[in-house]
Every structure is written in structure tokens, then in C-alpha cells.
């Protein structure tokens, strides 16, 4: 049977049995042909094979995460069969539209596409479930893998688009995978059709057992090394609201992005990496990580009702798809509308106009070398706690990272709130060495020219990110209470009743280039510090005498805005913004 460019729907099971010539029956899915099945079957039967293609996206040094849509055919029964990389000829090289050659499993660390497809056995692993690197399970020695679980495989030398022919008994019916509380499991689409991520995530049999975020591995293909210490990569995250109208995607963190979300000028060029995004429909063969819910151990189930016919060439489904794929190349504004979701030419969702549903992204750049992109959604249904399908947590922050937090200190790469102009959103920054930090705004939707501020609470300065970037230099550490996002700018300075009652004042005398502290009641001053607008400390004076006036020269300082912070012996503190303009 030959299915080209369309789909076959079968209400019950199928039986691929031997034909009259003695050859095993074959079903060929070509040009994005797919097989969909109803809720009835528990498994297909027969000793024939279904053949379906999928292309990898990496070279011989990088991983794709896979899941097999078929299993081996050693038994004729209505049961899904296991995937075996080194036996059963499930992984094949393409010879013609209806013929293939079993891929070789090689001992070399490098896979190859010529003279015949050879897959390196050294990089075939599963992960189900676990939290540590040591918990990866080696498959390259011939171990089998149950349907629904994913596996890693590196590509072939000289190619980032190796075509694989998966041939075997097609999977169908309910397929269960184990999840442990707050641990990860490598799973994947187990069917010879696309699946709907919304249906999978929000299935009531799944939503109580997992976090609701799908994680997709992405690796820098310019790093030509098999050494673990040389790997540069990470996980992109994806979740979707229960109504399917709000998709939330954040990219992998390992390079600096420009204002349009792509690699910054002067940053390392990483081809075929940053241009990838995830959308609602997951293609044949796509593997990904899921995380068990907090305090919950159970199973997550793939079902036939999650299956959907979606063609990769239309941009609705692609193997960790490139973001500039569109359904209609003649569309002048390079947008793509699929299943009520509209995308821009970077593959990001365009929200419909609304005063209540909004979003923005932050690009947090570390030393102009790597970028963490954060997404914040606003919708009336969001709560102050965790919102399944609207938020993605960051359960394992990097040594150099940024994330939003809630009242319980849960870390998020995607967070959601109901919009309130008086809302403040804490932003945590974690760095492992002294370096520069830059925060930029991106993908601002439905804010109608309203300002979005980054408030540096140390300097008490509000930076309108819709107008300019925030730049500073930070010392090593984790900054949990310094930065926040706000939507109004407070003009109040930090002060206490003690300062006000005593008549304590701080002012800049530009005529004589002095910072002056008037202290009429001779309060005991523990320290005085001056910080510039970038957050750099200019000076800090301690152990000051109990006098009624303190004067500090500012003659050698550049003109600009500074913040003076005064701390008393009892740790009461006030900060005052000053403007230095030397004559």
C-alpha cells in the first residue's frame, strides 16, 4: 500500500501480513503521508512492515532526540513491539521509494552516510526517568526500548539532513511511559503521524503527572568534538494553554541573540540552531523530555486521540522546525495561520489584539556571550501560583542564568499573570564570574506603547526597556532581590522616618563639585556609597565621624546620574538620585 502526501484513517487495527508471493506486506508513507487510527485498537498485527521517512537535523558531533514510530516484527500479535537500534532493521538507509538497506551500527565515534548509512553505536541512549548524567541508559549494545520512550542519536559526517527509513510494525493505541516526581523522562511521538501537543499535555490522564512543559534538546553544531566537556547545548521549552490559543516557546540558552531574536552581530555564528522553534504539532520521530509533577509519580499516556494529520512542509509540524517555514511563500508579511494560531516570519506566535492577553520577552545577555530569553504571558485566567499550560519552570538553573520567581521562589523561564499596572515581577540573575549584564525587551505584544521598566532596586533607577537597554557590571553571585519588572515608575526615594525627622539631607553641589550630607543631629553614619547608572560602585566610605556635615569631592567623575546610599549605625538606609555636572 502506497500513501503519498495524504493520510489513511483506520478505525480499528491493521494487519500487515504476507502476500501471495511470500514477501511480507508493506505500507509506504511517502511525501508526508501519515497513518491515523481510532480509539479501538490495542496494537497492530502481522509480520509486514510500515515504512516512513524522517530527516535528522545535526551532524556527526551533535544529538537529535528521536522516538520510533514502529517496532520490530518478531511476533504476529496485537501488541506494540520494542525499538531495537542494532537489530530488526528498524533503522534503514533509503535506496528507492519502495526499497531500503538496513543501516549499519558502527564502532567508530562518527556516523557516516557513505558508502552506506552507518550509525555510531556510542551515542544511542535512553533516559527513563532520571536526574543525573549517570542515569542515561546505553542502547548501542543491542538493548531494546519500549514504545513511547525516546532515544538519542548523533548524525552523520558531512550532513545535517540525513534521511532515515523507519520500517517495522506501526505503533498504535495507548502507550504508557513512566514519570517520577520532579525527574525527567526522554519520550517522543510514538506514532506514524503527527501528534497534537495540546491534546497530549492537557489530557486528564497526563496533566496531574507532569509539569506540562516539553523540553527539546538543541546543540551548537559548530563544536566539532565528542568530548562531554566541549558540548555547548541546552533545552528549548514549549507549553500551550488548554484552549490551544496561547503557545509559549523559549529557545535554548547558549548564544547571544540580537533584537530580532537571532544571533547578535559579532557573536559566534551558530548555523541551524537559533532559527528553530517548536509549535503545537509534533512530527513523526520527534523526541523530547518531560518532567514529573511535584510530589507525583505515575505514568503519562500517548493516545490515538492525540494524533493529527499535519504536514511539515506547511509549517504546522516539523522536526524541531526552522522558524522561517511558512504555509504560503507568497504571503507578503511572512505570516502563517494554522489552526487559529498566527505566526510571524521568525516562527513566534502573534497574539490577537487584546487588552487582557499580552506578552513580552526579555533577552538577558551575559558578557555579550550567551543569552537567556524569558517569556511573560498576561491573561485573565493566570494566578499567582503555577499555571499549567501557561508557565514553564526552570528546575535546574545554569551557573550563568536569569529567571522569574513567584512567592514560593519557584524559578520560571515562562511565567504568567493577570495584567495589573501595579504588578511587580521579580527577576533573578545568577552569574559565576564578574561580568557585564544587559537586559533587552523583545516581542512586545498588545501593550499599546505602554512602558515596561526594569527597576534596579540598588540604585532605585527605573529603565524603560521599550526605549533603551539596561546595562551594568555585576560581581559574582546570585541577585535575588535587586531587579524587578514594573509597569509604572515610582518617584519615591528610599528613606526612613529617622532621616526625615532628623532633617538629614543629601544633595550635589555642582558649583564646587561636592556631594554633601547635611546631618544636623549628628546621626552615626555607618557608610556612604556612590553608584553610577550602570551599577558600578564609584566609592564607599566607612567609619565616618559624628559631624553635622560630610563632603565628598566629585570633581574627577564624569557628568551623569548617580545614586548615593547612606546607611546608619542601626542599618537604616536611604538612597538619593543625584546629577553630577562639573563646571
Q: Are 139 and 66 in contact (CB under 8 A)?
A: no
pLDDT at 274: 45
Residues in Cβ contact with 460 at an 8 Å cutoff, skipping those fewer than 6 apart? 493, 494, 563, 575, 577
Q: Which of 342, 374, 391, 399 is nearest to 483 (CA)?
A: 374
pLDDT tens track for 392-446 = 999 889 899 999 999 999 999 999 999 999 999 999 999 999 999 999 999 999 9
Name the pLDDT band for 60 (thresholds 50, 70, 90): very high
pLDDT at 368: 86
pLDDT tens track for 465-499 = 998 889 888 999 999 999 999 999 875 544 567 78
Indicate the helix (H) or strand (E) that contains 498: helix 497-502
Q: List the single range of 188-192, 339-343, 370-374 with lowest mean pLDDT.
A: 339-343
DSSP-derived secondary structure for 435-462: EEEEEEEEEEES-TT---EEEETTTTEE
Residue 151: strand pairing partners? 66
Strand 411-417 and strand 370-378: pairing? parallel
pLDDT tens track for 355-396 = 899 999 999 999 988 899 999 999 999 999 999 999 999 988
Name the pLDDT band for 282 (thresholds 50, 70, 90): very high
- The most confident of the ranges 77-81, 222-226, 229-233 is 77-81
Tell me the C-alpha distance between 299 and 187, whole Å.
12
Strand 118-120 and strand 104-106: pairing? parallel
Name the pLDDT band for 532 (thresholds 50, 70, 90): confident
Residue 326 scores a pLDDT above 50: no
pLDDT at 214: 98
Residue 267 scores a pLDDT above 50: no
pLDDT at 369: 84
pLDDT at 339: 52
Tell me the C-alpha distance between 407 and 207, whole Å.
23
Domains of the chain: which residue ranges?
Answer: 2-244+280-342, 351-486, 497-580
> Average pLDDT, whole number, for the chain?
87
Residue 16, Cβ neighbours under 10 Å: how many? Answer: 22
Helix (H/G/I), strand (E/B), else coil: 482: strand
- Backbone φ, ψ for residue 427 (5° rounding): -125, 120
Say what the pTM is.
Answer: 0.83
| 333 vs 496, residue with greater confidence | 496
pLDDT tens track for 285-299 = 999 999 999 998 999
How far is C-alpha 180 from the geometric centre of its chain's CA atoms? 21
Q: List the single range of 37-41, 58-62, 239-243 with lowest mean pLDDT.
A: 37-41
Tell me the C-alpha distance between 314 and 343, whole Å.
12
Side-chain half-sphere exposure of 179, counting CA atoms within 13 A: 27
C-alpha cell at 260: 530580532
Residue 541: strand pairing partners? 528
Name the pLDDT band for 571 (thresholds 50, 70, 90): confident
Give the mean model confidence (pLDDT) for residues 253-272.
53
pLDDT at 402: 97
pLDDT at 268: 41
Q: Which of 8, 64, 50 is nearest to 319 (CA)?
A: 64
**Of the CATH numbers 2.60.40.3080, 3.40.50.261, 1.20.120.330, 3.10.20.70, which one belongs to the domain with range 497-580?**
2.60.40.3080
Place of cell 505570516: 335
Residue 38, Cβ neighbours under 10 Å: how many? Answer: 15
Residues in Cβ contact with 265 at an 8 Å cutoff, skipping those fewer than 6 apart? 258
Percentage of the chain lying above the pLDDT 70 cut: 89
How far is C-alpha 543 from the geometric centre of its chain's CA atoms? 48
Give the mean model confidence (pLDDT) for residues 50-72.
95
Helix (H/G/I), strand (E/B), else coil: 260: coil
Residue 269 scores a pLDDT above 50: no
pLDDT tens track for 72-85 = 998 899 999 999 98
Strand 49-55 and strand 26-30: pairing? parallel
When computed from its CA atoms, the radius of gyration of the chain, rounded to whole angstroms, is 29
Furthest-apart CA atoms within the chain: distance in Å: 107
pLDDT at 528: 93
Q: Which of 88, 86, 78, 189 is nearest to 143 (CA)?
A: 86
For residue 212, CA distances in Å to 111, 217, 238, 300, 343 come to: 34, 17, 9, 11, 22
Indicate the helix (H) or strand (E) that contains 200: helix 197-202
Tell me the C-alpha distance between 287 and 150, whole Å.
5
pLDDT at 128: 87
pLDDT at 330: 32
Amino acid at each position: 500500500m502506497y500513501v503519498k502526501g495524504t493520510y489513511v484513517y483506520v478505525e480499528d487495527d491493521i494487519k500487515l501480513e504476507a502476500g501471495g508471493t511470500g514477501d511480507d506486506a508493506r505500507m509506504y508513507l511517502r511525501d508526508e503521508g501519515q497513518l491515523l487510527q481510532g480509539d479501538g485498537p490495542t496494537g497492530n498485527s502481522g509480520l509486514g512492515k510500515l515504512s516512513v521517512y524522517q530527516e535528522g537535523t545535526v551532524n556527526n558531533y551533535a544529538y537529535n532526540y528521536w522516538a520510533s514510530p514502529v517496532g520490530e516484527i518478531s511476533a504476529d500479535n496485537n501488541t506494540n513491539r520494542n525499538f531495537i537500534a542494532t537489530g530488526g532493521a528498524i533503522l534503514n538507509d533509503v535506496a528507492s521509494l519502495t526499497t531500503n538497506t538496513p543501516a549499519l551500527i558502527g564502532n567508530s565515534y562518527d556516523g557516516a552516510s557513505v558508502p552506506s548509512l552507518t550509525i555510531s553505536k556510542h551515542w544511542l541512549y535512553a533516559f527513563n526517568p532520571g536526574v543525573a548524567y549517570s542515569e542515561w541508559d546505553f542502547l548501542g549494545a543491542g538493548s531494546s526500548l519500549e514504545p513511547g520512550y525516546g532515544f538519542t542519536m548523533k548524525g552523520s559526517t558531512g550532513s545535517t539532513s540525513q534521511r532515515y527509513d523507519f520500517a517495522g510494525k506501526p505503533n498504535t493505541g495507548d502507550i504508557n511511559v513512566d514519570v517520577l516526581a520532579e525527574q525527567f523522562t526522554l519520550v517522543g511521538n510514538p506514532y506514524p503521524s503527527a501528534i497534537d501537543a495540546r491534546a497530549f499535555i492537557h489530557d486528564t490522564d497526563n496533566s496531574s503527572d507532569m509539569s506540562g512543559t516539553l523540553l527539546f534538546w538543541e546543540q551548537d553544531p559548530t563544536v566539532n568534538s565528542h568530548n562531554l566537556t566541549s558540548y555547548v547545548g541546552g533545552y528549548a521549552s514549549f507549553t500551550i494553554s488548554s484552549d490551544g490559543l496561547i503557545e509559549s516557546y523559549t529557545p535554548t540558552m547558549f548564544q547571544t541573540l540580537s533584537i530580532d531574536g537571532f544571533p547578535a552581530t559579532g557573536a559566534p555564528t551558530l548555523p541551524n540552531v537559533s532559527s528553530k522553534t517548536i509549535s503545537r504539532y509534533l512530527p513523526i520521530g520527534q523526541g523530547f523530555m518531560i518532567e514529573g509533577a511535584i510530589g507525583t509519580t505515575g505514568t503519562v499516556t500517548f493516545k490515538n486521540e492525540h494524533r493529527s494529520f499535519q504536514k511539515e512542509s506547511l509549517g504546522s509540524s516539523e522536526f524541531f522546525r526552522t522558524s522561517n517555514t511558512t504555509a504560503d511563500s507568497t504571503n507578503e508579511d511572512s505570516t502563517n495561520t494554522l489552526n487559529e494560531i498566527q505566526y510571524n516570519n521568525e516562527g513566534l506566535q502573534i497574539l490577537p489584539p487584546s487588552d487582557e492577553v499580552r506578552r513580552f520577552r526579555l533577552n538577558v545577555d551575559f558578557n555579550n556571550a550567551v543569552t537567556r530569553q524569558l517569556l511573560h504571558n498576561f491573561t485573565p485566567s493566570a494566578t499567582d501560583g503555577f499555571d499549567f499550560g501557561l508557565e514553564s519552570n526552570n528546575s535546574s538553573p545554569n551557573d550563568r542564568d536569569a529567571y522569574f520567581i513567584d512567592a514560593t521562589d519557584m524559578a520560571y523561564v515562562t511565567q504568567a499573570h493577570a495584567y495589573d499596572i501595579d504588578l511587580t515581577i521579580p527577576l533573578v540573575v545568577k552569574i559565576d564570574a564578574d561580568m557585564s549584564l544587559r537586559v533587552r525587551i523583545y516581542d512586545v505584544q498588545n501593550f499599546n506603547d505602554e512602558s515596561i521598566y526594569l527597576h534596579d532596586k540598588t540604585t532605585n533607577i527605573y529603565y524603560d526597556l521599550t526605549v533603551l537597554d539596561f546595562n551594568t557590571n555585576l560581581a559574582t553571585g546570585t541577585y535575588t532581590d535587586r531587579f524587578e519588572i514594573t509597569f509604572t515608575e515610582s518617584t519615591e526615594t528610599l528613606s526612613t522616618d529617622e532621616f526625615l525627622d532628623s532633617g538629614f539631607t543629601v544633595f550635589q553641589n555642582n558649583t564646587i563639585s561636592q556631594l554633601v550630607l547635611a546631618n544636623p543631629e549628628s546621626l552615626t553614619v555607618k557608610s556612604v556609597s556612590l553608584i553610577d547608572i550602570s551599577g558600578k560602585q564609584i566609592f564607599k566610605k566607612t567609619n565616618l565621624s559624628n559631624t553635622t556635615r560630610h563632603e565628598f569631592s566629585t570633581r574627577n567623575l564624569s557628568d551623569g546620574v548617580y545614586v548615593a546610599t547612606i546607611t546608619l549605625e542601626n542599618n537604616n538606609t536611604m538612597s538619593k538620585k543625584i546629577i553630577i555636572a562639573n563646571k
